[in-house]
Structure 1
Amino acid sequence: MRLLVVLPRVPFPLDKGDKLRAYHQLKELASHFQLKVVALDDSSIIDKYMDHLREEFNIEVIKLKKATIVYRLFRALFSDKPFQVHYFFQRQANRRIIELINDFQPDHIYCQLIRTAEYVKKLHTVPKTIDYMDAFSKGMERRINGASFIKKYFIRLEASRLLKYENLIFDYFENKTIISDQDQSLIYHPERKDITVVQNGVDFDYFSPKLAEKKYDLVFTGNMSYPPNVDGAMYLVNEILPLVRAAIPNAKLLIAGANPTNQVIALECEHVVVSGWVDDIRDAYGSASLFIAPMRIGTGLQNKLLEAMAMSLPCVTTDFANRALGAENGVSVLLGNTKEELAKAVIELLTNKQLADRVAKNGCEFIQNNYNWKTSTQRLIDLIKQ
C-alpha cells in the first residue's frame, strides 16, 4: 500500500513538537507502507540533516520562497483563512505535490497539521487523513491575555480564523487524528468524537534513567521561542523560583532549549542558567534533581514531561498540562495551580528524597505503560488501512 505523507516542516532536528511526532510516526509507518514523504521547508540550514533522513525515509523537501511567504502573509490580511495556512501554501509547492501524486499514485494521503490541508483538500480520488495534532484555535486563544495591544488584535484574529478553519477542513478528510482527548474536546465540530486520538510516545531506548552529577535543582526544557514555553519560563523565574529560594537559598535552575527569545535570555542570573540549544537534551534532564513544567497556556501533550518522566526524573506541573497527560497527582507527578502550590511541590521533592524517589519511579512506570510510539501509531496505521 502506497502512502504519501505531507509535512509542514522537515522532521529533524527534533526541536519542535510537530517534528518529533512526525519523525517517530514515520519510523513506524515505514514498516507498514511504501512511503513517500514530502516536507515543506522555510529554513536555510536544513540541508545538513538530509543525509540522515534519506537513510531512513524516501523524502523530498520543497523549499518555500521567503518573498512568497511575505507576499502571502500580506494577502492573508484580506482573507478569512488562518495566517499560518497562508504561510505554508505556495503555488510552486502545490504544483510539485500534484506531480508527486500523479507519479507516486498513492493509495492514501496523510497530512500533518491543518497547515498542509490546502494542498490536497480538493483531491477526492484518494482517501485522506488529517492530523490536527493540537486544538490550535484554543491554543491561540489562550495567548490573547498575555499579548501586547497590537499582538492581541492579530492573535485574536488568528484564533477566530483557526476555529473556523478547523471546522471547515473536517469534512474534506475521511479520517481525522489528534493528540489527546482534551484536544479532541476543543475542536468545535459537531462530529468531533469521530476524531481518533493518537497519542505521542517516548523512545525508551533513548530516554532511559541514567546517573549523572546534579548541577541544578530544577530544569525546564522546550523550544524557547514557543510562546507557552516563554510564558512558562518567565512565570517560573519571576514568581515560582523566589518562593523556592526562600526555603532553599541555593536552589539553581536550568532552562534548556532551542531559540530562546530575548525575554528568556534576560532571565539568566547567578542562580538561573539559560543554555539555549543542547546537542543531547538528556544531559539537561540528567543534570537536575527534578523537572518542572509550569504551563499556563497552549494545547496538546507536553513531550518534555514524557521525556523527563521516562528518565525517572520527579516532575512538577500544572493541572492544565496534566489534562492531556493523565498522571495521578501525588503518585506519578506533583501538581499545582498557583505559584505557591508549585513552589511547595518543588520544595517537597527537593527536601524529601523518599518522596522524590517514589514519584520518579511511579512516573517512569506510568509513561512506560501508557506512552509507546509503536502502540500509539498502530491506531493511525489501522485508520489508514481500513
Structure 2
Amino acid sequence: MNSSEKHKPRLVVVLSRFPFPTEKGDKLRAFYQIRDLSKDWDIYAICLSEQTISEEHKAKVNAYCKELHIFQLDKWKKLFNTGLQFFTTKPFQVGYFYQHSIHHQIDILLKRIEPDHIFCQLIRAAEYVKNYHSCTKTIDYMDALSAGIKRRIPQSSLLSRWLFRSEWKRLTRYENILFDYFEYHTIISEQDRDLIAHPQRAKIDILPNGVGEHFFNYSKPVQKTHDLVFTGNLSYPPNINAVHYITHEICPVLKASGRNVSVLISGANPVSEIERLQGKIDLTGWVEDIRDSYAKGIVFVAPMFIGTGLQNKLLEAMAMGIPCITTPLANNALGADSSSILLAETPEGFADKIQMLLSDEELRERYATNGQNYVKANFNWNNLTQKLSDKMMAISR
C-alpha cells in the first residue's frame, strides 16, 4: 500500500445483496460503484447475503475493498421478521432483510472503523445505519420501490393484491421518512425521483446506471441465430411479465401477419412458468457471458410495463449495437430520442416496429449506431461514479 492510499477517507458501503455476479440490477450498480469509488476511498463493504458466497466471487469484490464483511441472513429469522411487520408500519421487505444480531455486529464494525462517510444502497438496508450519526451518510434509493409495487397490484390475485397494497403504502411512508436520516440522496431516474413522497424530493440527485466497457468492445464472431432477444433476471416480476408479453401478445400478432419469429430468452433463475414456454422460445437460463446472448439477436425487444428505474438490459443491448424496441415507461429513465430507440405500447405497435426492423437492414444499422453512440456519451460508469464520489467527499469534510 503506497502513502497516498493510506490517507484515503474511509467509506462504509452497506448492501442488501453481495454484488457479484452482476445478474441483478442492484448488484451490478453496487459492483461498478465500489470499483470506481475505490480510487478515492478506502472501501469497507458490508454485504447481506441469502446464500454462501464462493471464494472466487469474494475475490472479485475484495479486489477493490480495504475490508469485506458478509453477513448471512438466517432463513427462519427472515420469515419471522417479515411477519413481525404486520404489527409495525415498516415495509415487509425491510423486515425481510433486517436481523438484530447482524445489526449488533455492524454497530461494532462502525465503532472500530470510524467511517468518514456511509453509503447505503436501497432503503431495505437502511435500518442498519439510519441512526448512526457520527458521520454523514448517503442513501441510494435506486428506484421508487413503492411505485413498482403499486404497478403490480392490478395484475395480482385477491390475496396478493391486499399484500401489495399494504406494502405500497408502507414503502411510500418509509421512503419519505428515511429522507431525513441521510444528508445526501441519489436515485436512478427523474421519473422515480418524482414518485418519492418527500416534499424536498427535488434535492435527490439523479445518478443513472452506467454500462460496462466490455459491452462496447465485444468482438467474438457470433452468428445471428434469433430474430428477437430478451435478457434479464427471470425471477423478477417485470421480466416475467415481459417474457409472457413477447410470447403471448407480440408473437401471435406477428404470426397472424405471416411472420414467424425465433425468440431467445436468457437470464438467471427462470421461474417454472417461463421454463414451460420452452419450445415457443429458446431459453438458455444463466449464461457465463450475457454478451453472447445479445449478439445472437437481430432485434432486442423489452416490453417493460411494471418495472421502475433504468433498465440495464437496454443499456447493454444498445452498447453492443443492437437495435432496441421498448415502452415509453422504460425509456422515460433512459431518455433516448426517436433516432436511437423505437417505442411501442401495444402488441400491434411492437409487431409493426419489429417487422420494420427485420425487413430493413439499413434501418437496423442506423438505430444500432445511434443507440450505441447515445449510451457511450451518457452512461459511462467512471464519470457517473466520480460525481457521486465528489459529492460524498464534499459533505464528509
Task: Give the TM-score normalised by structure 2.
Answer: 0.94
Work out which of the residue numbers 231, 240, 251 in structure 2 matches 1:221. 231
Aligned mates of 1:167, 1:222 — CA distance in 2: 29
Alpha-carbon shift at residue 268 of structure 1 (Å): 1.8
Q: How does 1:109-148 map to 2 (within 5 A)?
A: 109-148=118-157
CA contact (8 A) 2:189 2:309 kept: yes
| Correspondence 1:258 to 2:268 | yes
Alpha-carbon shift at residue 74 of structure 1 (Å): 1.7
Q: How does 1:13-162 map to 2 (within 5 A)?
A: 13-44=21-52, 46-57=54-65, 58-162=67-171
**Which sits farther off after the overlay, 298-307 or 146-155?**
146-155
Alpha-carbon shift at residue 168 of structure 1 (Å): 0.5
Alpha-carbon shift at residue 67 of structure 1 (Å): 1.3
Compared CA separation, residues 113 and 242, structure 1 to 2 (3 A): same
| Correspondence 1:240 to 2:245 | no
- After superposing on structure 2, the runs of 4+ consecutive aligned residues of structure 1 that deviate more than 4 Å are 45-48
| Correspondence 1:286 to 2:295 | yes
CA contact (8 A) 1:209 1:310 kept: no
Alpha-carbon shift at residue 248 of structure 1 (Å): 5.1
Work out which of the residue numbers 249, 255, 275 in structure 1 matches 2:284. 275
The count of residues paired between Structure 1 and Structure 2 equals 384
CA contact (8 A) 1:11 1:23 kept: yes
Which residue is 1:337 aligned to? 345
Segments of 5+ residues of structure 1 without an aligned counterpart are none
SS of equivalent residue, structure 1 residue 130: strand
Work out which of the residue numbers 355, 366, 381 in structure 2 matches 1:373. 381
Work out which of the residue numbers 201, 204, 213 in structure 2 matches 1:204. 213
Alpha-carbon shift at residue 263 of structure 1 (Å): 1.6
Alpha-carbon shift at residue 241 of structure 1 (Å): 1.2
Aligned mates of 2:264, 2:386 — CA distance in 1: 36
Which residue is 1:305 aligned to? 314
Segments of 5+ residues of structure 2 without an aligned counterpart are 1-8
Work out which of the residue numbers 146, 161, 177 in structure 2 matches 1:168. 177
Alpha-carbon shift at residue 82 of structure 1 (Å): 0.3
Alpha-carbon shift at residue 250 of structure 1 (Å): 3.7
Alpha-carbon shift at residue 71 of structure 1 (Å): 1.1
Aligned mates of 2:168, 2:278 — CA distance in 1: 32
Work out which of the residue numbers 195, 199, 202 in structure 2 matches 1:186. 195
What percentage of aligned pairs have identical amino acids? 45
One-letter amino acid matched to 2:199: P
Alpha-carbon shift at residue 247 of structure 1 (Å): 3.7
One-letter amino acid matched to 1:24: Y
Alpha-carbon shift at residue 378 of structure 1 (Å): 1.6
SS of equivalent residue, structure 2 residue 270: coil
SS of equivalent residue, structure 1 residue 144: helix
One-letter amino acid matched to 2:309: G
SS of equivalent residue, structure 2 residue 369: helix
Compared CA separation, residues 248 and 256, structure 1 to 2 (3 A): farther
Task: Give the TM-score normalised by structure 1.
Answer: 0.97
One-letter amino acid matched to 1:314: P
CA contact (8 A) 1:176 1:195 kept: yes
Alpha-carbon shift at residue 96 of structure 1 (Å): 1.1
Aligned mates of 1:86, 1:140 — CA distance in 2: 16
